[in-house]
Chain A
Amino acid sequence: MTSTQATVATAPASAEAKTRRKKATSFDPNPAKAGWLTKLVIVFICLVWLLPTIGTFVTSFRTVDESNNTGWWTVLGGLGNLTLDNYKEAWTGAHFNTAYVNSFAIALPATFIPILIAAFAAYAFTFMEFRGRDALFLGIVAMLVVPNYVAIVPMLKIYASLGMNGTFPAVWLAHIGFGMSLAIYILRNYMATLPKTIIESAKIDGASHFQTFYRLVLPMSVPALASFAIFQFLWVWNDLLMALVFIGPGENEPVTIALTHLRGQLGQGWNLTTAGGFLSMLVPIAVFLALQRYFVRGMTAGAVKG
């Protein structure tokens, strides 16, 4: 998942979807029932989708000898020697323990700070009047598709002169910059759907913009905040390029870089690579399964309904 993926997903929304939903009078979730062929095809696709992951999972518990000499599917005929050693080795030997700390240290601020900044900006774009508002917002929309590769060479130079290369703030700030237009776009579109009357009555009651923002608009925008937060967190957690460029291998490296060290080094078995791979997936999969509803809702709300 990349940021632009999410980017455009939210962008071209369709106004017709709104009218269409109103028109849908009788809603039948199962217009046509599945025949055996449909079921067979779906089961087949699901198996193909799952098989690589199952292979990884099984191998991560096997010994070096077994994983290098027999296929993982042979466990169907007998489990052989299963072990947790691979995880121990990856966790301490391959430094996944510090990499995990680093990944959190990178991903949490890189998720929270852009949301904070974008929420203020989205509030201003939605509820405040100022000159050039629409033009500025259009500029933000245009920035959605600029490839973030542009930032790498110039920022490396600036960071070098500030001595920031290899530090956490170097990546945070990069992710803040890259995630900003999407965040503003999602939040502003959501805030535009909030009832204007409530905000106006708060104003009449003497609430300042800051109070309105903090007490009313933020709590009402939780669904949009949550779906962007999940996007951004997964994106930062899974990012390899920005981490390689701005942090690089070493003591501050995140899980994605730690995993690349485990690939194809001689003398290393697949058992270790797969254990590392699985460790790297644990957090995103947990986040995804726990918050799937917000994730899907954010995506569909952005792309289909606008």
Chain B
Amino acid sequence: MKIVSALLTVVGGIGAALAVYWVLNKIAELLPSRWEERIKPLFYILPAFIAVAVYLVYPAIQTVINSFQDSTSTTFVGLDNYKSLLSSHSFQQTLINTLLWIIIVPVVTVVMGLIVATLADRLKPGAEKLSKTLIFMPMAISMVGAATVWRFVYAANPAGQNQIGILNAIWTKFGADPVAWLQQSTFHLNSLLLMVVLLWAQVGFSMVLLSAAIKGVPADTLEAARIDGANERQTFFQVVIPQIKGTIITVFITVVIGVMKIFDIVYVLTNGNFNTNVVGNEFFNQLNTNFNNGAAAAIVVLLMLAVVPIMFYQVRHFRAEEANA
């Protein structure tokens, strides 16, 4: 029964989408041809613009308004949401944690991606493909799945019992007591362990992009450097790196944006406890646990402000590229 009703919904939804275009096209064809030429482009882009307007533009405006209102969005409270968020100790910690993610994860993702790409590039084609596939595969699975896999790695049994988490199994082999890893907030150890999960999922992405860029570096520049007496390391840092700078920046920015919104991993592994909270998880808790629309909206506005510089970069970069093309 479930399958049938789900199938009907799916077919209905896709059918409706197709019907929209069929109708729009028919309407355009009924018009006099002078009008048809003018109206058609608008009809073609109209659904796309409605989608973007309804799901991004309107909500962005509405969210800004909500952030100045109380928890049920009924009365205006000025800057109260921002004030109480920014003055609360726990939210400051949340911001610090998020900042740690933003600083550490993109850098490590790029560096590890570079290392793996460079090393794998030297293997035989079969071995290269296999190792890359293995490292890339976690990218396909969900963050919830990745978090589940890693929760098992970090699992801890009381001292004296067999350890079933592999990290504690190795740790206790050296005679130490088992550690509840995800509860260790000293030096943000648990946050770092959460970051490992994201790195596991993302290094493959960085590796694939960087590897393609490295392969695109013209061989004659490498040869020239070697003939001039540069060793492998000099060649890498002074010839390869400058030529793949664009890709490095791309990977970096992509990961930064993803990290700013990190939610699933923290939600599943600690739900922000033990001082591991991040902005994305705090947003969800304000919304779903505290039912505080005002605070949730204020968090999103802060996030949007943080993204604005990247948006300008994006638009500028696109323009430069179009000008070159």
Interface size on A, as a range, is 35 or more
Tell me which of B44, B143, B161, B166 contacts A124 (CB under 8 A): B44
Is the CB–CB distance between A72 and B60 below 8 Å?
A: no
Contact flags (1/0) for B1-28 with A, using CB distance below 8 Å?
Answer: 0110011011001100110010001000
Distance in angstroms between the alpha carbons of A234 and B138 in the assembled complex: 12
Check: A266 CB closer than 8 A to any chain B CB: no
Check: A105 CB closer than 8 A to any chain B CB: yes
Check: A16 CB closer than 8 A to any chain B CB: yes
Check: B293 CB closer than 8 A to any chain A CB: yes
Closest to B138 in A: A49
Is the CB–CB distance between B209 and A46 below 8 Å?
A: no
Is the CB–CB distance between B149 and A277 below 8 Å?
A: yes
Check: B51 CB closer than 8 A to any chain A CB: yes
Check: A92 CB closer than 8 A to any chain B CB: no
Distance in angstroms between the alpha carbons of A118 and B300 in the assembled complex: 27
Closest to B123 in A: A34
Which A residues are CB-close (under 8 A) to B325? Answer: 15, 192
Is the CB–CB distance between B216 and A124 below 8 Å?
A: no
A binding-site residues for B, Cβ under 8 Å: 1-2, 4-5, 7-9, 11-17, 20-21, 23-34, 38-39, 41-42, 45-46, 49-53, 55-56, 59, 67-73, 98, 101-102, 104-105, 108-109, 112-114, 116-118, 120-121, 123-125, 128-130, 133, 136, 138, 140-155, 157, 168-169, 172-174, 176-178, 180-181, 184, 192, 208-210, 234, 237-241, 244-245, 251, 256, 259-260, 262-264, 270, 273-274, 276-277, 280-281, 284-285, 287-289, 292, 296, 299-300, 303-304, 306
Is the CB–CB distance between B56 and A148 below 8 Å?
A: yes
Tell me which of A21, A120, A177, A259 contacts B52 (CB under 8 A): A177
Closest to B249 in A: A12
Nearest 7 A-B pairs (CB), nearest first?
Answer: A177-B55, A238-B142, A288-B140, A121-B48, A124-B44, A277-B148, A105-B6
Which B residues are CB-close (under 8 A) to A71? Answer: 162-164, 166, 169
Closest to A123 in B: B44
Determine, out of B88-96, B183-191, B308-316, the stretch whose residues face the partner at the interface.
B308-316
Distance in angstroms between the alpha carbons of A250 and B73 in the assembled complex: 27
Minimum CB–CB distance from A83 to chain B (whole Å) comes to 17
Taking A69-B162, A152-B59, A241-B284 as known contacts, 11 extra A-B pairs with beta carbons closer than 8 A to each other, sorted by chain A number, are A24-B219, A41-B119, A42-B123, A67-B164, A72-B164, A73-B166, A143-B56, A146-B56, A154-B59, A270-B164, A273-B152
Chain B, range 153-173, C-beta contacts under 8 Å to A: 153, 155, 161-164, 166, 169
Identify which of B148, B220, B299 gathers the most chain A CB atoms within 10 Å of its CB. Answer: B148
Check: B217 CB closer than 8 A to any chain A CB: yes
Given A55-B153, A177-B55, A306-B321, check contact A299 B216 (CB 8 Å): no
Interchain residue pairs with CB less than 8 A apart (21): A2-B258, A7-B254, A9-B254, A12-B317, A20-B218, A38-B119, A41-B119, A55-B152, A56-B149, A71-B166, A104-B6, A113-B17, A121-B48, A145-B314, A153-B300, A172-B13, A240-B142, A241-B263, A276-B148, A277-B145, A304-B216
